Structure 1
Amino acid sequence: MNALLEVRNLRKQFGGLVAVNGVSFTLEKGEVVGLLGPNGSGKTTVMNLISGALSPTAGEILLAGEGIHGTPAHRIARKGVSRTFQLVRLAPSLSVRDNVILSIAFGRKPLWGRAARERADLVLTTAGLAGQGDLPVQTLNYIDQKRLELARAIAPCPDILLLDEWLAGLNPAELRVGIELIRGLRDTGITILLVEHIMEAVRELCARAIVMSSGITIADGPTREVLADPTVVAAYLGDSEYA
């Protein structure tokens, strides 16, 4: 079976700092994979490299067999890769619906006019924002801003969704809502790479987990086994025996 996404020996260096060092993994179509690791391990840098926000120092990224490493972010988006960010990035001067329409207009399947509006309203319903399209973005609470960012990411019908700590900052009730939203997306067959520190969500959503520490991959396998790996536990807890 051919991988939908293949990362080969990926490296990113900022001056003397090597943030990602020889990382390799694959994603099969329909997988939901957790990309885990302590703060500063290189997870977000990997997401930035896949999405085109950064260009790699070395290595390759293949999407359905096509090399996309070094390709500008807007072109990668048109090839079917969408993402969210650690900090919500919305257009504050636009309505809820127009935020989604903006994403559709510059996505892989651009729509305009009535078609774009209908697609936006459908996606808002999927994200739990039915009937709120005309609201100003500033009126949304935190969980609804998160919902809107997710709606913007899925509106262009991506093949791969990169979620960078999308569940961060939610209270317990909001977290359950967020997990169910991602579960619903998973059930549509979309491929998801999920950077997350909330292990409850990782265990529920990800059959497989990849763990990074200090820019390298230290584990890749079934989530239950990976989270019980002493090397992984040490990476999170700082046990010098495994450091």
Structure 2
Amino acid sequence: MRAMFEIRGLSKRFGGLQAVKAVDFDLAEGEVVGLLGPNGSGKTTVMNLISGVFPANGGSIRLGGRRLDGLPAHRIAKEGVSRTFQLVRLAPSLSVRQNVLLSLSFGARPVSGREAERRADEALSRVGLEGVGDARVPDLNYIDQKRVELARAVATRPRLLLLDEWLAGLNPTELRAAIALVGSLRDDGATILLVEHIMEAVRALCPRSIVMRAGEKIADGPTAEVLNDRRVVEAYLGGAAHV
């Protein structure tokens, strides 16, 4: 059976730097997969290639059999890819609800008017922000701003959700709540590719993990096995096995 999402030979150069080198992997529908690796390994570049921030120099990206590589970001969003970023990217001059409404203009099935407002409020409720649609973004704390960004991503009901270090910068209490929230999306059948450095979250959320080093994929398999792979331990986890 064909995978829901496929990458084959994905490559990206920035001048003389080969940031991504012929990377291959698949995702099945409903899978939550961790994309791991040390800083500079190419993880976020892969996310940017999938979402159309950068064009690829080689290889292919397919979602449901349709080619995404070569499409601009807004067309990729309409094909059903949604994402968050390492740094929260919200419009501070707009209300919380208006930030989510923006995304609903670019999804696979754009909506407007009262239906869009209903969908925006539904997404905010889904991430634990029920009743705060009229609030100003600058008045929210950090985790709630992250929740708004996640609401904006899930409001479009994407086929593939890309989470780029969405859990970063949270205190232990916030982290537990955030893991539970992403877990609830997983339990609802979302297909998620998750870039993350917090191993507690990776173990809790990702049955499978892919590891990159210097632009190359070096491991792909069950998370418990991958985290004890000698190459991964040497490249990413500081040389201590059984982490």
Give the TM-score category using the shorter length.
over 0.9
Q: Distance in 2 between matches of 1:2 and 1:176?
A: 35
- Between the aligned partners of 1:191 and 1:66, the Cα distance in structure 2 is 17
Letter in 2 for 1:96: V
Deviation at 1:237, TM superposition (A): 4.6
1:109 is aligned to 2:109: yes
| Equivalent runs, 1:112-127 vs 2, <5 Å | 112-127=112-127
Q: TM-score, normalised by structure 2?
A: 0.97
Shift of 1:113: 1.1
Looking at structure 2, the residues matched to 62 and 120 of structure 1 have their Cα atoms a distance apart, in angstroms, of: 28
Note the residue ranges of structure 1 that are not aligned, 5 or more in a row.
none
How many angstroms does 1:2 deviate by? 1.4
1:232 counterpart residue number: 232
The 8 Å contact of residues 54 and 70 in structure 1, kept in 2 or not, is answered as no
Q: Deviations over 1:8-67 (max 9, x none)?
A: 011100110000001000000000000000000000000000011111111111111111
| CA distance, structure 2, for counterparts of residue 39 and residue 197 of structure 1 | 9
Distance across 1 between alignment mates of 2:105 and 2:11: 32
Which secondary structure does the structure 2 equivalent of 1:156 belong to?
coil
Matches within 5 A, 1:12-91: 12-91=12-91
For 1:196 and 1:129, the matched residues in 2 are separated by: 23
4+ residue runs over 2 A deviation: none
Alignment of 1:191-206 (within 5 A): 191-206=191-206
Query: Given the two structures, how large is their TM-score scaled by the length of structure 1?
Result: 0.97
The letter of the residue matching 1:118 is R
1:92 aligns with 2:61: no
Task: In structure 1, give the amino acid aligned to 2:7.
Answer: V
Any idea what the Cα deviations from partners look like across 1:104-125, whole Å, max 9, x if unmatched? Answer: 1221121111111111111100
Q: Distance in 1 between matches of 2:237 and 2:147?
A: 32
Q: 1:218 to 1:145 in 2, by over 3 A?
A: same
Residue identity opposite 2:10 in structure 1: L
CA deviation digits over 1:151-200, x for unaligned, max 9? 00000110100000000000000000100110010011110000000000
Cα distance between partner residues in 1 of 2:181 and 2:53: 26
2:65 is aligned with what amino acid?
G
Once the two structures are TM-superposed, the CA of residue 238 in structure 1 deviates from its matched residue by 5.8
2:167 aligned partner: 167
1:221, distance to aligned residue in structure 2 (A)? 0.2
How many pairs were matched up?
A: 239
| Corresponding residue of 1:207 | 207
Structure 2 residue ranges without an equivalent (≥5) = none
Answer whether contact 1:8 1:24 (CA < 8 A) is retained: yes
Query: Quick one: distance in 2 between partners of 1:135 and 1:66?
Result: 39
The one-letter amino acid of 1:46's match is: V
- The one-letter code matched in structure 2 to 1:66 is R
| Aligned partner letter, 2:201 | A
Code of the residue aligned with 2:29 in structure 1: it is K
**2:101 aligned partner, one-letter code:** I
CA RMSD of aligned residues (A): 0.8
Match of 1:131 in 2: 131
Q: Secondary structure at the match of 2:149?
A: helix
> How far does the alpha carbon of each residue in 1:84-104 deviate from its partner, in whole angstroms, 9 at most, with x for none?
000000011100001001111
Confirm or deny: 8 A CA contact 1:38 1:236 kept in the other structure: yes
Give the Cα separation in 1 of the matches to 2:123 and 2:228: 37
